[in-house]
Structure 1
């Protein structure tokens, strides 16, 4: 999570610390999830409010890796796994912040903090897999592995995390990358800036690289609250400055103090300012932090297929740090320091928690979440505190370790196994309704049951804590999970058909269904649509929702035929993007999926789609995402987005259950089917049409094959829902209205007003209340 203020400190002195660098002909170690978030926030032209424009994000990721490969840069991507207990409090605080962000969301992109769509990790990994990028997922946090691999291979790191300033690696901050590559003779380079730790050591003469981890401890990290060292920090004379805030001055004075000490003497000096009892608690944490920075972790080298000789050599040179001085020999004159600290603060120290320098009042309504997690759940608290790669590997079957390292599982699987906790990601949704995740609880229950039923403990229920949104706050819900008929260890011993039956039963897929008429990579996706439509809750899904979702699927076919095009530029790169994915759709994973000749009809229809069909249909789809729409959104309909969020929750958990079962269905690619902005605008448009199918037929009259595909999909879904009453359309959907003043934009939006749906495109083609994510003038209302 970084060291507060250190990135700013370095950037303010970029002329000294950050050297110009041309990236080419090298291996590059990439902090995976960090890169994913940076690409989404700063490069992809996605709108957050409508739940995720995954096609545009996938194109952005593809183009980034394509540029690296053109520069003969070989990316090795390391992904974080489950969260460690030290970060639980910080993550909970961030969860509450995301709820507040989602509650106050507008469609105006420039005024919104980023809230990541929930399928972003799946899309990021999917693109890397299809491009042949090497990646691996760590069991827990990956920073140590990223730095270790970079040191062992002597190659740079790409991230945007201030921890890497003190890891002792050659570090390229993401924001220093030029957006384009440059041709050099017969090759290409990507210009950027690189940080070398030697510059820091030169700046503070006498500073040794081994003491740098102590800067993390004193300046604030996720292990220990910086306030613990208040007495020590107060003894360091921080000079006043008009140009620097207190944290910036503290950074400089800490490095200036460390340059006069060895690692042992610096630790001793720090501990001497604590009471004798606190020293015993803090010293092990200090040793853990130091070893995280200096000990070479080789755990992730084998999943990346690094040469075994390199691994063995690194293991020989990797020695853990252990404080050599005797605590009893330290100066005890400060034994009474910090005795005024409250019992609650002492508990937080012992539990390795950190508020990460946030305002203490920010934990108002959920203080005690930490203790509730540990005191309520029936498992060994001490064991829960000590998870690492080795003892975790001893707990789970080898197939699970292999698939996790290969990035096939979501990171929360680790949290369910180790912490018995699932933090359900926040989405943009209607806060007057239940959480959009609730609709997917049958899938969540199955996942939890499979992960927690062992051969030795298969007779009793397991309590899983869900951290989920309720109204406008975080809620802790405890699910009593019944044991699975099959033990965790034995899942992969079942036949493919036995494993397939587990997911089919939950999704209510009957044996005589028409899913087999679909291409194999579409079946799970359509099954999720049917499951989503079947659910009975406080938000009704109508045929308008179904039409919008099915029609959005066609954009993937168009992209593969004529190239990715949302903003009408760089068509050559877009065509290459589509071609790279085109030959992957019908690929059968591991040869274990049972094919069916009935799928040939729909597959042939899809294959028969021509460029003329796509060219004729493209204007209609671009009208719902592209720069022809200049109107200002007069109202944000939370209900439309909420229903879409429900579908994403179903798809997310169905894909994860499918992965756990060994991919009994070919995993769908969300980037080929989902664009939240298009879905939102299609639904808004359809809501004003008296006969939606006649309207669609009119718009796609020159793209007859695409129209037939849509009709075929609609018929298959409706045929499976004959026992369900589905309304044609909703009445009086809730909208969130925006006030016109800038001051109001910065404040929380008010309660939803009930209004009728307005037409987004009238019969003359004039736009009404669309949102265009790529148009800078979308806030202007043109009449």
Structure 2
């Protein structure tokens, strides 16, 4: 949600409100969405997501917590609430604008990739960290659990300055582990406690290096941070703690628009609020001072007296709702993690149970409790919420004016009104795209998913948009780095999304709105899609709904053959990946043999090579120091050949040796994980067309994983961190597209000393070739023929240009006799002048 300007104010007065703290030997409640963004902001996102890199960063972070004997409880956001829609739309427009002007070398404003949060959950599972996805926004749940466990909150949301919790802003947490020696009792007075750096977050290192770490008797490990306590603010300003929620509402949040307080602001004195403070900073100081002399009841009465009569009842209700959100004590996570029964929570996927407060309910037709008017753009909403896709990376308080104030602060100067508050808002276009003015969502306060679905949501197995599809029948499209002259790259997966919506609303035939970008413009629009008419019924009581999942290939004539071949020839962990590639090749206008080969090579590197070369190192110097590749020879010949013996993919995987992985990675692949020198010197070499094609594939994987979980996981979910590195894929595509014979290049230049890796690549290609048209020999030969024709045309063009230039020179040499005679006379005249 966020409180406008409060983070800036606290940071400017950090010496008064923030205390230095050593974090160790405790529990900590983590705002998962906020932390996931904070950890990604140092990773380049221009190529669509370096998910393997991000996975290691997250695992390293939780490894550090473990080293410091810190137990983390991570809470993830669920669906949006109706009051957030105007903020969501504003942020979507902002994200589109940021992507359109993205510079891959200067990614100052990180654009988070579509599957960032899913990779974050993958890392939590890998590290066995307890987590839970909330039904809606997680802020109140985080605060309630923190108070029950009496432990700090780690987040970057200014709302936690108002919640009565110990709050650690995540930007103040050093991503380093220190060790402090504890002297003996006898020498405490003589020996100074020594601070020593032990380790720091290292995305290239082994994320399991913290396993088995034991704290020595005479030292402890900790992470340095700053901690805020609500008493710091109330003591400094002479406030009672119950006044702070009202203070937050007056500054503006999602409960009440700040513009409604215009008349009230005019009656609050601006006396001595600081000459160098921003407009919002002055407002904070003035409000804190005014609240010192009021009780909660008297303050609310005075505020309501300054609004129109027809808004008084509504405003009082909104203020009460806002205050209750900051002080409620119910915690679903407390029960979910097993604390209510005084038992220590175990593995959350196996031991977690649904809290008693959530009963099994099913959606019924016409169960909606009312109609909510959706405003096109709420002019009183400034996007001050800080829990959306881009907000948590760098907390934004939306300061109204960053310039210094004038020297005209007087005794009688009133608190500035919101006359300028709308200057950063999104103005409605002359032709609005939000054509669906009303919708009928399920009442959020009463909404409880069916039990079979609730288990999957709470466990974090489903993305947050599932709740939106159920409560508001809305899907907010997460725009990717793409070519904005082309249609939305996520449109390719809409049929899968329709199937997901059909499952969630069976047996009713309904429609949902799809909020997405407008082609060629920095704008958004609504589209409308309906449930699919299918001849199969989804069985919520069944563990597997394989037949329903197979509807994704319902337009394929050979769909049964595809699933049969994949079941028989492809290892279980990558079957869904192959289905995604087949779907992508069928419906994409961009997918070609270069895309498919690049993707398969990336999967081989991230799965087979990295698994044999732990720790995963991308730096050439570190790699050479750790693995000594110069002293290792590759494998000249494989034991078997795929073409002759028809080896399966599983057999090829077993034959891969560690030595050939070391040699191949060092000699051929390491440089593909970083931005090339050519791109650094000339950033125009960056092609959004290439990233657009891979963006389509990401969208397919994103939706397929969700559908697979809903259907009871008939296949193993695609492990995103082991199949996609955007930078590697971009560089590999750029390399392969210049080659007339891709397979020959891979054999001769990429895997010359790795025949077993080459066999693995061939085996994958053999499975896909019958179902992916661009991989057929005929298509490849046409590509070569077309390339030769283009080369021939370019040679002829260059030849014609040379001939034209020669003709020009020849014409220049054939001078006019009169001109030659005139030039000769000039030369003679010059000689005479010199004499």
Distance 1:515 1:349 in 2: 50
SS in 2 for 1:19: strand
Give the direction of change, closer, same or farther, for the CA distance of 1:362–1:106 in structure 2 (3 Å limit): same
Contact 2:96–2:479 under 8 Å retained in 1: yes
Specify whether residues 626 and 101 from structure 1 end up closer, same or farther in structure 2 by C-alpha distance, changes over 3 A only: closer
CA distance in 2, matches of 1:132, 1:611: 28
SS of residue paired to 2:312: helix
- Paired with 1:292 and 1:367, the residues of 2 have a C-alpha distance of 37
Question: C-alpha distance in 1, partners of 2:81/2:339?
Answer: 26
Once the two structures are superposed, residues 278-323 of structure 1 have per-residue CA deviations (whole angstroms, 9 ceiling, x without a partner) of 1111111111111110011222222222233599xxxxxx9xxxxx
Aligned to 1:779: none
CA distance in 1, matches of 2:290, 2:237: 9
Distance 1:59 1:373 in 2: 43
Shift of 1:240: 5.6
Contact 2:86 2:378 in 1 (8 A): no
Provide the secondary structure at the position in 1 that maps to 2:336: coil
Q: 1:227 maps to which residue?
A: 259
2:426 equivalent among 340, 360, 363: 363
| CA distance, structure 2, for counterparts of residue 371 and residue 432 of structure 1 | 21
Match of 2:661 in 1: 614
Q: Secondary structure at the match of 1:21?
A: strand
Question: Structure 1's 461 and 175: CA in aligned 2 closer, same or farther, altered over 3 A?
Answer: closer
Aligned match of 1:146: 142
Q: How far 1:277 sits from its partner (Å)? A: 1.6
> Who is 2:322 aligned against?
289
Which aligned pairs between 1:678-689 and structure 2 lie closer than 5 A? 678-689=728-739
Return closer, same or farther for 1:410/1:11 CA change in 2, 3 Å cut-off: same
1:533 alignment partner, one of 577, 585, 588? 585
Matched-pair contact (CA < 8 Å) for 1:616–1:700: no
Q: 1:452 aligns with which of 491, 505, 519?
A: 505
Contact 1:182–1:188 (8 Å) recurs in 2? yes
CA contact (8 A) 1:271 1:279 kept: yes
Partner of 1:27: 27
Query: Shift of residue 241 of structure 1?
Result: 3.2
What's the offset of the Cα at 1:447? 1.0
Partner of 1:77: 74
1:441-476 per-position Cα deviation (integer Å, ceiling 9, x unaligned): 22111111111223xx3xx44344443443322121
Instruction: State the TM-score, normalized to the length of structure 1.
Output: 0.78
Alpha-carbon RMSD: 3.3
What are the residue-to-residue correspondences of 1:162-561 with 2, within 5 Å? 162-185=158-181, 186=216, 187-205=220-238, 207-238=239-270, 239=272, 241-308=274-341, 356=384, 359=422, 362-365=425-428, 372-375=435-438, 377=439, 380=440, 384=442, 386-388=443-445, 391-393=446-448, 396-454=449-507, 457=508, 460-472=509-521, 473-485=523-535, 490-493=539-542, 495-503=544-552, 505=554, 508=559, 510-536=562-588, 539-556=589-606, 557-561=608-612
- Which is further off, 131-140 or 709-718? 709-718
SS of 2:564 mapped into structure 1: coil
1:15 corresponds in structure 2 to 15
SS in 2 for 1:479: strand
Which has the higher Rg, Structure 1 or Structure 2? 2
The alpha carbon displacement at 1:684 in A equals 0.7
Alpha carbons 2:237, 2:292 under 8 Å: kept? yes
Distance in 1 separating the partners of 2:431 and 2:180 = 58
Match of 2:764 in 1: 713
Change in CA separation of 1:163 and 1:684 when aligned onto 2, cut-off 3 Å: same
* 606-615 or 490-499, larger mean C-alpha shift: 490-499
Are 2:40 and 1:40 equivalent residues in the alignment?
A: yes
- Counterpart of 2:103 in structure 1 is 106
Distance 1:351 1:493 in 2: 48
Bigger drift between 470-479 and 429-438 goes to 470-479
CA contact (8 A) 2:674 2:727 kept: no
Asked whether the 8 Å contact 2:434–2:526 carries over to 1, the reply is no
For the residues of structure 1 that align with 2:741 and 2:378, how far apart are their CA atoms?
Answer: 65
* 1:584-623 equivalence runs, <5 A: 601-619=648-666, 620-623=668-671
Contact 2:375 2:437 in 1 (8 A): no
The answer to whether the aligner puts 1:93 opposite 2:90 as a matched pair is yes
Cα distance in 2, alignment partners of residues 411 and 421 from structure 1: 12
Distance 1:80 1:115, change over 3 A: same
Q: Residues 496 and 14 of structure 1: is their aligned pair in 2 closer, same or farther, counting only changes over 3 Å?
A: same
Say if 2:649 and 2:764, in contact at 8 Å, map to a contact too: no
> CA-to-partner distance for each residue in 1:359-413, whole Å, 9 max, x for gaps?
45742345897974452x4xx3xx54x412xx211xx320111110111111111
Would you say the 8 A contact 1:462–1:483 is kept in 2? no
SS of aligned partner of 1:553: helix
**CA distance 1:618–1:27, change in 2 (3 Å):** same
Q: Give the distance between the partners of 1:274 and 1:346, measured in 2 at CA.
A: 23
Give the drift of 1:275.
Answer: 2.3
Contact 2:515 2:524 (C-alpha < 8 Å) held by counterparts: no
Kindly tell me: are residues 497 and 687 of structure 1, through their superposed partners in 2, closer, same or farther at Cα, counting changes over 3 Å? closer
> Could you tell me whether the CA contact under 8 Å between 1:84 and 1:140 is conserved in 2?
yes
The structure-2 alpha-carbon separation of the partners of 1:416 and 1:687, relative to structure 1 and needing over 3 Å to count, comes to same
Partner of 1:49: 46
Q: How big is each residue's C-alpha offset from its partner over 1:639-661, in whole Å with a ceiling of 9 and x where there is no partner?
A: 11111111111111111111111
1:732-743, aligned counterparts within 5 Å? none
SS at match of 1:493: coil
| Secondary structure class of the residue paired with 1:706 | helix
Separation of aligned partners in 2, 1:270 and 1:641:
52
In the TM superposition, residue 722 of structure 1 has moved relative to its aligned partner by 4.9
Q: For residues 322 and 343 of structure 2, what CA distance do their matches in structure 1 show?
A: 25
d(CA) in 2 for partners of 1:730 and 1:285? 67
* Equivalent pair of 1:429/1:638 in contact (CA under 8 Å): yes
**Whole-angstrom CA distance in 2 between matches of 1:77 and 1:645:** 29
How far does residue 602 in structure 1 lie from its aligned partner after superposition?
A: 2.2
Aligned partner of residue 229 in structure 1, secondary structure: helix
